[in-house]
Structure 1
Amino acid sequence: MAMDGSWRRGGTPQMTFTDADIDAAEEMATSGSYSEVPDIVGQFLKYMHQTFLDRNIVELHNLYEQVFQRFTDRYYRLMSWPSPEHVAEYVENDAVFLLLYNELYYRHLFSKMIPSLAQRVDSWQNYCNLFEGFLQHGMIDHDLPPSWLWDMIDEFIYQFESWCQYRAKLKSKTPEEIQYLRENDQIWNVQTVLSLLTCLVHKSNIISWLLRGEPSGSNDPDSANFDISTLPVYRYIGYFSIIGLLRVNTLLGDYRLALMVLQPLDFDVSTALFTHVTACHVSIYYYMGFCYIMLRRYEDAVRVFSSTVIHIGRIKHNHTRSYQYEQINKRNDQMMALLALCLAMQPQQVDESTMSLMRDRSGERLSRLRQGELQAFEDLFNYACPKFISPAPPDYDAAEDTNMEAPRLQTKLYMQVVRSQLLLPEVRSYLKLYTTIEIGKLGALMDVDSSTFRSHLHALKHRSWTLSGSFAVPPLDGVFSTSSDVGFYIERDVVHISDTKQSSRYGEYFIENIKKLDDLHSQLKRKMTIENSKGNPKGGRRTTRVS
């Protein structure tokens, strides 16, 4: 039987699995009865190590994304990969490669099992050693695929997030575990996490590279003006660390700072580095769009989410076999939910293809939001928001679970904004019916007095003026403009409404309906073909034709 995760190297023949090897391996994996490394896994690790030393990035990318995943599915679905101590002999005790293997080892362990306190601590120490290697020029003579470097940063932040949740759940902890947490607050410390990511950004010199658009020095490590950003491994790790800072600051609820770290980035999709890894592309726009929502910049959030949803729709079929497929799908669903929230809070025009996707997947949710159901807003927000964390350790003497305090706080802040704007869509809809009308009459339509309705009008005017930007300017920049489709002013007690007619997007309308007509035409042709075959069993030709 051919090996699913096969590889070729020079003239080496293709490796194969026998049925007996697979059955024996699966039986051992199911029972969890072995701790040694199977021969075929040992050969794979030897070859992966040699590929790493040879700096064969194309082959290493294949081994990392395809072969490693297939070995995991075949051998290690129910147990961890071999411990680093058992692997060391296969990779010639290479300290650098063992740090990278440990990163894979703990990542798999976190994804398939519930890690113990000791394993969480060991993983933290491995990340510290790994990043320290980058900071001490330990990777100058090596290279890694961009997807591995992105997953490294992404997993580092995920485990930090997991630690904060784990640390806050005190009811299930033993006294010994609580005492250990109390005495070792430097483990997965938020300041250290931010410091490591920031140091990687500075070490990589990526900011200078982004601002200049080119390296500022030589690519020769022995040169006096050596620019480390000329090395892809440092350029990517620094770039992905910037996006990591975006994510950490979002989890902490500092949305302005989260967008501020993105100021040097170029969002031109033809040149931007984040487009080199699809999961990174989706992640940066997810957190960026969410920050816009919490800063009440709904127009920018809609711009970010709609472009990303369309992009995912175009490329999703290319990742059906990728280990990132489920994550990309989940992020897509979350962005669709956030997009629905934005359009409910601030109605605006989006392209027809995006609205078609939303009607197909979130039609019921959109209806509930438009009816002003507070519970619908809260449910969608809780589903689509990041898993917020508290950077401070809990009160260990209280022995209570506090892991939900940060999410509840952010949900409370969002729902306060929703309640303050819940009536504005209704006010907007009434204004569209008139050109001039007294405030008292409009208030009567909503069963409120004149002074209350006047305050609603002031709120609508205030909320409709927001800062909005584009992908051509830094995320925090933009110009103040009105996003409302209703223009009005108040003169004494009379509201004067300007023309609210909007230009229709005929092109998108006709393209969408042409597609529907083509589908109907194809269905009709198939139906006529079937009817002809039933009505003329001898195979004679009929003259019926669909034009």
Structure 2
Amino acid sequence: MSAFQQGMAPVRAMGDVDSDVEEEALVADYKEQVQYGEDDMAELDQQALAQAADDLQARLVQAAQPLDFQATLEAKFQSYDNYCSLFHYILNSEGPVELEPPSYYWAWDVIDEFIYQFNTFSTYRARIARQGNNEEEAQFLRDAPNTWGCYSVLNVLYSLIQKSQIIEQLGAMKRNEDPALVAGPYGTKNLYRMLGYFSIIGLLRVHCLLGDFSLALKTLDDIELNKKAMFARVMAAHFTTYYYVGFSYMMMRRYADALRMFSHILIYVSRTKNFQKNAQYDSIAKKNDQMLALIAICVAFHPTRLDDTIHTALREKFGDELLKLQRGGPESLPVYEELFKKACPKFISPVPPNFDVPESNIDPMDHHLSIFMEEVKTNMFSPIIRSYLRLYTTMDLKKLAGFLDVQPDELRAMLLVNKQRTKQVRWTEGGLLEGEWVNTSDLDYALQGDLIHISEAKMGRKLVDWYLRNLSRTYA
């Protein structure tokens, strides 16, 4: 079977298409990151953690260390207090903190761990509230509604961005101007510049977890998605950025853009896997299946060609599921639901749960799943409809309704929805919410009374009749 499927150009990296030399330079940078993770960080831990507890560098190193998954509730509260104290000192000192961070890998680890603990705590708190069977912990959580609160986390991220003047610096670099002229006293310090930069990626992640996908994409207006960006030098940041951008596009029904994002990062991961041996890569490797599941969903909505590497991995991991999605119909609904649950982020609610009325707490994941499944149900017959329409240049609406076992008026609505979905906004440059309206299908049709006029037919009449008879048995 050909490595390219279903009729369009291969999905590669971003529109700027950097050279192979730049790609190799990016891979070399990641080798440096691996070396940092295995050697430098261990040395830094030994030196910094040996200092007094109040030493700033020791606190910064500690902030980048993952909290044990089985940590007690008291430990999670203590971790929140430590972050608050640390960021308060960095943001509210009389002047810039005079500390040179070890590298931008470390700066990413601080922001990443901060958001991860916020996410896990919010998920845990919501589960305790929904279960309603642990009054002791419920009371503990009820008495501290602002601990790991959404407002507190967003306030830290926005404050780091504002204090560092990173938005102004990125804008100056886009205009080929000196960013130091707009950096201010804090933005000239690497500590603030790095934390501010990765706080932008953090905002993308938090807004996506909260379900505001358009605002999530809006936060990246000043960051260019290419291999020269700072986030591309840190594997975890690189992966996180494209995962959340791609997922936001998918939830906004911009499937072509979502596929571009997912494909870019999966191809890059496949190129660097030979020397990725640290724990961070183990975590990223586990998420590869999630990315492939999202690609399977997007390809079902937006049939397109895939890169050979991705196509092979997709067939190996989700071959059976992909076939069911491409067939469409009611049988595809549980597959969509299963893949979405497997691949979606751990959504959180922007407000604390109601511990007094457990049944009133809706799981945010179930909420977003229901929204997604409404879109699936609207389009579940689209693959079947497309397969029929490819056979004729003109077809009677009632005849097609008979094949699908639906009423003609219901089919008419399906055809209109399917045609509307072939028009999508595709991003090329500028903000990620911008783009041009393009036709994403090679099949076009128009309704005239009860006749469907299709742009082309690719089979002879006898083969068409045979195909329709067998297809009608399959989908009736």
Separation in 1 of the partners of 2:234 and 2:136? 42
Q: 1:326-337 maps to which residues of 2 (within 5 A)?
A: 326-337=282-293
Q: Does 1:483 align with 2:440?
A: yes
Q: Does 1:251 align with 2:209?
A: yes
Q: Does 1:462 align with 2:420?
A: yes
Separation in 1 of the partners of 2:343 and 2:325? 15
Q: Does 1:65 align with 2:37?
A: yes
Change beyond 3 A, Cα 1:206–1:433: same
The match for 2:278 among 313, 322, 325 is 322
Contact 1:486 1:500 in 2 (8 A): no
The match for 1:383 among 339, 342, 348 is 342
Which residue of 2 is the match for residue 164 of structure 1?
122
The match for 1:232 among 179, 187, 190 is 190
Higher relative contact order (CA 8 A, sep 6+): 2
Shift of 1:283: 0.4
Shift of 1:280: 0.4
Separation in 2 of the partners of 1:129 and 1:500? 68
Change beyond 3 A, Cα 1:61–1:415: closer
Report the identity percentage. 36
Which residue of 1 is the match for residue 333 of structure 2?
374
Which residue of 2 is the match for residue 286 of structure 1?
243
1:65 counterpart letter in structure 2 = G
Q: 1:132-531 maps to which residues of 2 (within 5 A)?
A: 132-135=88-91, 136=93, 137-168=95-126, 169-170=128-129, 171=131, 175-213=135-173, 214-217=177-180, 226=184, 228-269=186-227, 271-319=228-276, 321-372=277-328, 373-398=332-357, 402=361, 405-470=363-428, 472-499=429-456
Shift of 1:257: 0.8
Separation in 1 of the partners of 2:398 and 2:406? 9
Superimposed CA distance per residue, residues 330-372 of structure 1 (whole angstroms, 9 cap, x where no aligned partner): 2222111100000112212333343233223321221222233
Structure 2: which 5+ runs fail to align? 1-31, 459-476
Which residue of 2 is the match for residue 100 of structure 1?
60
- After superposition, the CA RMSD in angstroms is 2.8
Contact 1:275 1:281 in 2 (8 A): yes
Shift of 1:285: 0.4
Shift of 1:309: 1.1
Change beyond 3 A, Cα 1:98–1:160: same
Shift of 1:173: 6.9
Separation in 2 of the partners of 1:92 and 1:192? 27
Separation in 2 of the partners of 1:62 and 1:464? 43
Change beyond 3 A, Cα 1:457–1:93: closer
Most deviating of 124-133 and 164-173: 164-173
Separation in 1 of the partners of 2:189 and 2:424? 41
Shift of 1:500: 7.4
Change beyond 3 A, Cα 1:260–1:61: closer
SS at match of 1:110: coil
Separation in 2 of the partners of 1:172 and 1:455? 44
Separation in 2 of the partners of 1:298 and 1:405? 26
Which residue of 1 is the match for residue 9 of structure 2?
none
Separation in 2 of the partners of 1:353 and 1:93? 49
1:380 counterpart letter in structure 2 = L
Shift of 1:395: 1.7
Shift of 1:443: 2.2
The match for 1:110 among 65, 68, 84 is 68
Separation in 1 of the partners of 2:356 and 2:412? 51
Most deviating of 393-402 and 406-415: 393-402
Superimposed CA distance per residue, residues 194-229 of structure 1 (whole angstroms, 9 cap, x where no aligned partner): 11100111111111111110544369xxxxx84533
Separation in 2 of the partners of 1:119 and 1:401? 28
Shift of 1:436: 1.8
Change beyond 3 A, Cα 1:173–1:242: farther
Superimposed CA distance per residue, residues 261-288 of structure 1 (whole angstroms, 9 cap, x where no aligned partner): 111111121x211111011001000011
Separation in 2 of the partners of 1:448 and 1:312? 45
Number of paired residues? Answer: 417
SS at match of 1:434: coil
Which residue of 1 is the match for residue 82 of structure 2?
126
SS at match of 2:224: coil
SS at match of 1:184: coil
Superimposed CA distance per residue, residues 456-476 of structure 1 (whole angstroms, 9 cap, x where no aligned partner): 211111111121113x33210
Superimposed CA distance per residue, residues 274-308 of structure 1 (whole angstroms, 9 cap, x where no aligned partner): 11101100100001100111111111111111111
Separation in 2 of the partners of 1:379 and 1:264? 35
TM-score by length of 1: 0.71
SS at match of 1:437: strand
Separation in 2 of the partners of 1:329 and 1:139? 37
Which residue of 1 is the match for residue 469 of structure 2?
none
Superimposed CA distance per residue, residues 124-181 of structure 1 (whole angstroms, 9 cap, x where no aligned partner): 1111122223323453332231111111111111111111122221457754543332
Shift of 1:492: 3.0
Separation in 2 of the partners of 1:255 and 1:180? 32
Shift of 1:250: 0.7
Change beyond 3 A, Cα 1:410–1:230: same
Change beyond 3 A, Cα 1:352–1:397: same
Contact 2:426 2:437 in 1 (8 A): yes
SS at match of 2:321: helix
SS at match of 2:437: strand
Structure 1: which 5+ runs fail to align? 1-59, 73-80, 220-224, 502-547
2:37 counterpart letter in structure 1 = E
Q: 1:28-107 maps to which residues of 2 (within 5 A)?
A: 65-67=37-39, 90-92=50-52, 95-104=55-64, 107=65
Separation in 2 of the partners of 1:62 and 1:376? 37
Shift of 1:447: 2.7
Shift of 1:396: 1.9
1:387 counterpart letter in structure 2 = K
Contact 1:340 1:366 in 2 (8 A): yes
Separation in 1 of the partners of 2:171 and 2:185? 14
1:368 counterpart letter in structure 2 = K
Shift of 1:184: 1.9
Contact 1:282 1:331 in 2 (8 A): no
Contact 2:424 2:439 in 1 (8 A): yes
1:250 counterpart letter in structure 2 = C
Which residue of 1 is the match for residue 22 of structure 2?
none
